[in-house]
Structure 1
């Protein structure tokens, strides 16, 4: 089960306690999915078999086909455990952003290792979570589509707790009007939605731009008969993209404003009196700064405003830590730099690799691979050539000095030194990738290998983008 993170049960407005979880039967049923042409990693020889049956037949890396994305089970387990232990040490909760993988099998692994719940980004992702029986979800966005709001009003209940965000007076008015217009005959027509007021920053993404604006929004929520204010939060990752002193100063200044907003809301008694209060921020790049700045505001007991028994929980929402990468997050993760690295926290390791085959060698020092933008993420850096071998699953050697110079829709350009490296048609290259969020969305089925030393396929991960 791994390390349990903190006290992660949440109270509803009826006094019931909702435990985190997912419908295990629904997740297990993915093993029954019939393999076929829809899954590009699976060879034709496997078509007609169930996913679970195929894995149990004794599949290895060599039995798959390129282009291919694989995951490493041992690395994912180690990354999840490392993050769970860190959160337990810091006394914070984790609601990993499920949009990174959109893979219920991986969500379950995170929940079994103590996650408070799963964060999602929009209504379509929320429906996926509901279909697989997620019990507790944070939607880190404003729900502005009336159909989505109406659906949620009827779907939430004792087994499905959702908290979403608001960042404007208009969004509060829209939610109010939509909920008020639901016919009495519709289940959930008297539902009250739990919301968090979001503070943003200049040049950032969503969120009120000033504490004063956010306070006005909070007052509007407090006055609403359809909404309940249960927290404050935001996202610091859109305000910086590096770990230099200037970027970290921007991040920490923003987080200080989030803290200030929370203190104003407590002082004004704007939080719902029967709610556990949520204080949330933290992507995968600056979660250490989030905890450093905001942890003092999380009480895990009586709130500073004196409301007996009202908890203030700090929840981070890092999503990339489980899979990590060989690019952007490798360079910026707190466990790879700064105080956390100095404190002895081992860095996360990349659990994802791409495998591509040489289909053409038209010039000396140039090989064209059979994987492109349809298969590989490129938004946070080009793939990194790592290993070269004559066959998938065969012996591979380190590919020193090679680069991917560009990526087309279906091809990548491998540049290498022909004086020191020989590349032939049919050779296979293992690639390191940057940014798991834009790797997973290109694959409906992802084989999981046991470890770097054991290339048995131990699971097939299904994604739902």
Structure 2
């Protein structure tokens, strides 16, 4: 029998399905149990708060995960760019919320193709100039584009900075035959801490401002759609956004849409810390999200005492924070035979190498040992990979997931 053809992608099984024996490392690994837990947890959370879930697909750009999110009850998938929307639609996602302004004729052409093919697509606007460009482009093609007005914050990213700008923009949209004002959008992640304190009060106030802005548009007769949207929420402040939307007395006419993305895998860094703050605010959430994404890599060299070089670098793991060594295995070993990685500390990453400081007295490390690393900010690790391995408790690969970056 001829040997199996080698994989063209890093991190994939070649001759079998055992992560510790048959996969070319480094590999990005999704653990099924915490992944399933996170999918169910966030959907239950949104359901309990009367909100629709439109998870941000830019986190993973993995169609298999999109369909699991939709199967769990998600209302739509959020994307960041027109090509991302096209990729999601090509894989069967028909309701798309592009949480960004649609600028440039080439990007508008992609959106027009999606609308003509039957997609339900929402985009953001925050300037009259953009409204005029969209009106001209989509009007020429006889298409009607739903838009959401983005409400920003001073010093933040995109978005109108005050109510007067919002109302003037809404009137411009109302005058545009090819556009339809579908609601209000915001992103609380741009609100920064002041004097070292978490901006919980500012986030809650911002969520309330999104609601009152929507109500002002409705009062002025500028929301003509049957069910307008109010939407916000990343993965760090979803409790405050959901509660502000729930308690605003909006009624069933308004669809309250939550857009977290990183929740799907969570992490051992940025979002782990955000969840610790959430649990401090909401101790009733006894069980939160669980880290599901890790990068497995091997010890490549032990060049001097106290130092291990691991074959994993910036091309394999996001750089918001240095990865965290979690546990270790012998190559070809069993999932239930993990060795300690306590005290192991990643000190520096190069393109393909991690410098790992070992605690004093460690003598059982061998070249070829497999180390599982926790990551920070899933978006920045997902986009390093075109294929990821989903594994069960025994570290057997049960699915290879494609990404569409």
**What TM-score does the superposition give when structure 2 sets the normalisation length?**
0.93
Deviations 1:167-199 (Å, cap 9, x if unpaired)? 11111111112223x3xxxxxx21110000000
Distance 1:268-1:95 versus aligned 2 partners, 3 A rule: same
- Structure 2 distance, partners of 1:427, 1:164, is 48
User: Who is 2:142 aligned against?
Assistant: 190
Q: 1:294 aligned to 2:237?
A: no
Q: Report the CA distance between 1:134 and its aligned residue.
A: 0.9
Report 1 or 2 for greater relative contact order, CA contacts < 8 Å, sequence distance ≥ 6.
2
- Structure 1 distance, partners of 2:116, 2:363, is 61
Q: 1:425 aligned to 2:384?
A: no
Q: Report the CA distance between 1:401 and its aligned residue.
A: 1.5
- Matched position secondary structure for 2:339: strand
**Structure 1 residues without counterparts, runs of 5 or longer:** 1-33, 47-56, 183-188, 302-310
Deviations 1:81-117 (Å, cap 9, x if unpaired)? 1111111111111000000000000000000000001
**Structure 2 residues without counterparts, runs of 5 or longer:** none
Structural mapping, 1:307-456, within 5 Å? 311-333=253-275, 337-340=279-282, 342-379=283-320, 381-391=321-331, 393-394=333-334, 395-451=337-393, 454-456=394-396
Distance 1:352-1:315 versus aligned 2 partners, 3 A rule: same
- Structure 1 distance, partners of 2:9, 2:40, is 30
Which piece of structure 1 moves more, 135-144 or 386-395? 386-395
Distance 1:243-1:141 versus aligned 2 partners, 3 A rule: farther
User: Who is 2:37 aligned against?
Assistant: 78
**CA contact 2:95–2:120 (8 Å) conserved in 1:** yes
Q: Report the CA distance between 1:392 and its aligned residue.
A: 5.1
- Matched position secondary structure for 2:199: helix
Deviations 1:271-313 (Å, cap 9, x if unpaired)? 12x4311000000000111112222346343xxxxxxxxx101
Distance 1:334-1:126 versus aligned 2 partners, 3 A rule: farther
Which one of 107, 114, 120 corresponds to residue 66 of structure 2? Answer: 107
User: Who is 1:24 aligned against?
Assistant: none
Q: Report the CA distance between 1:447 and its aligned residue.
A: 0.7
Alignment length (residue pairs): 400
- Structure 2 distance, partners of 1:236, 1:397, is 41
Which one of 228, 242, 245 corresponds to residue 277 of structure 1? Answer: 228
Deviations 1:1-38 (Å, cap 9, x if unpaired)? xxxxxxxxxxxxxxxxxxxxxxxxxxxxxxxxx98543
Distance 1:76-1:230 versus aligned 2 partners, 3 A rule: same
- Structure 2 distance, partners of 1:118, 1:315, is 11
Q: CA RMSD of the aligned region, Å?
A: 2.2
